[in-house]
Amino acid sequence: MANTAIQINGLEKIYKGSGRKSQPIHALKPLDLEIPNGQIFGLLGPNGAGKTTLVKLLLGIVFPTSGTATIRGRAAGTTTAKQIIGYLPENHRYPNYLTGFGVLRYFGQLSGMDNQTIQRRSAELLEIVQMSQWADTRIKQYSKGMMQRIGLAQAMLNNPEVIFLDEPTDGVDPVGRREIREVIAELKQQGKTVFLNSHLLSEVELICDRVAIMNKGTLVTMGTVKELTAMQKLWRIEVEQPQQPQLHQLLARIPTATATGNSILFTAETLNDLNHAIDAIRSAGILISTVRPERQSLEDLFIDIITEGGAK
């Protein structure tokens, strides 16, 4: 328990449909999940998968239909839990008559921080998100990426132990994205837990310790990026002389194989299948130089899962 940042037990959310004809929406099917301290946890999923719903449940912005959750042992949604939480919502908006610093001061006050601490933390954070020169500009004049940066600073203001970031790099340019990744990595260095919702798979791949993929309100798969991408049944078999006619005859008989250059990509359901294929290649007198599992990119996996889910 002491090592758990977020503990979720059977958490479920059904939105009552608004309007007369609309159906209730089962946004989150009962979910059990445990996220350890000090990790960057990435939640992936297509639009409408229920990622934001899960985060909102953990913050008490919406109420669960059933189930419970705790954040570092504190019941989710309570004021005590919120004391150790930072949150950057998707489509966040701040009073646009405030300056960047004004936003931080306002939310600092709401977090119960004293003015001196607010001053000090704001200066630090504005530096970290590279917004110092904009601190006294009204946020009415901010660009989207600048809003995102000030939002990130706002989420880190009260030095939270657990930080929820819903699409933090949305609308941010590539340089800015890298900077935000660095900020997130730095949070991990400080021992914080980061819960990251994202569409950007490459980004998740780069920084997350653990990744979960959600579709239609269900957690489809979870693991480290390495585990997830290695789970695939694709093998690369490299051969010495790829131009041999025997090879072409052979490939014609194995429908799941394709040849490119001097390698063959082969999909095998089981290790037996793989070894049969190797036997066949060997018995044709072809020399094999390498056999190795092919890593699928997270994006391929993601699309696989989503389209499978869609086909069901």
Ligand X SMILES: Nc1ncnc2c1ncn2[C@@H]1O[C@H](COP(=O)(O)OP(=O)(O)OP(=O)(O)O)[C@@H](O)[C@H]1O
On the CB side of 250, CA atoms within 13 Å amount to: 22
Minimum distance from residue 93 beta carbon to other proteins (Å):
4
Q: Are 21 and 4 in contact (CB under 8 A)?
A: no
Q: Does 112 bind ligand X (CB under 6 A)?
A: no
Gyration radius from the chain CA atoms: 24
| Residue 85 site contact among other proteins, ligand X, Mg ion, none (CB < 5 to 8 Å, cut-off depends on kind) | other proteins
Cβ atoms within 10 Å, residue 192: 22
Q: Does 215 bind Mg ion (CB under 5 A)?
A: no
Residue linked to tokens 């504190």:
74
User: Which residues inside 30-59 make contact with other proteins, applying CB under 8 A?
Assistant: 56, 59
Q: Does 90 bind ligand X (CB under 6 A)?
A: yes
Q: Does 52 bind Mg ion (CB under 5 A)?
A: yes
Minimum distance from residue 50 beta carbon to Mg ion (Å):
8
- Select from 1-9, 76-84, 183-191, 268-276 the region that touches other proteins (CB under 8 A): 76-84
What is the x/- site pattern for ligand X, positions 45-64, by CB under 6 A? Answer: x-xxxxxxx-----------
117-145 burial code (b ≥16 CB/10 A, e <16) = ebeebbeebbebbebbebbeeebeebeeb
Minimum distance from residue 177 beta carbon to other proteins (Å):
21
User: Which residues inside 78-107 make contact with other proteins, applying CB under 8 A?
Assistant: 79-80, 82-83, 85-87, 89-95, 97-98, 106-107
Q: Does 154 bind other proteins (CB under 8 A)?
A: yes
Minimum distance from residue 163 beta carbon to other proteins (Å):
11
CB-wise, 54 or 268, nearer to Mg ion? 54
CB-wise, 219 or 281, nearer to Mg ion? 219
Which residues are registered as beta bridge partners of 238?
263, 290
Give the span between the Cα atoms of 30 and 19, in whole angstroms. Answer: 25
Going from the C-alpha of 9 to that of each of 12, 161, 211, the distances in angstroms are: 9, 21, 19
Q: Are 230 and 242 in contact (CB under 8 A)?
A: no
| Residue 121 site contact among ligand X, Mg ion, other proteins, none (CB < 5 to 8 Å, cut-off depends on kind) | none
Give the span between the Cα atoms of 184 and 197, in whole angstroms. Answer: 13
- Select from 6-14, 22-30, 62-70, 84-92 the region that touches Mg ion (CB under 5 A): 84-92
- 109, two tokens: 């006050």
Q: Are 239 and 286 in contact (CB under 8 A)?
A: yes
Residues belonging to the chain: 312
Binding site for Mg ion (CB under 5 A): 51-52, 90
Binding site for other proteins (CB under 8 A): 15, 56, 59-63, 79-80, 82-83, 85-87, 89-95, 97-98, 106-107, 109-112, 154, 164
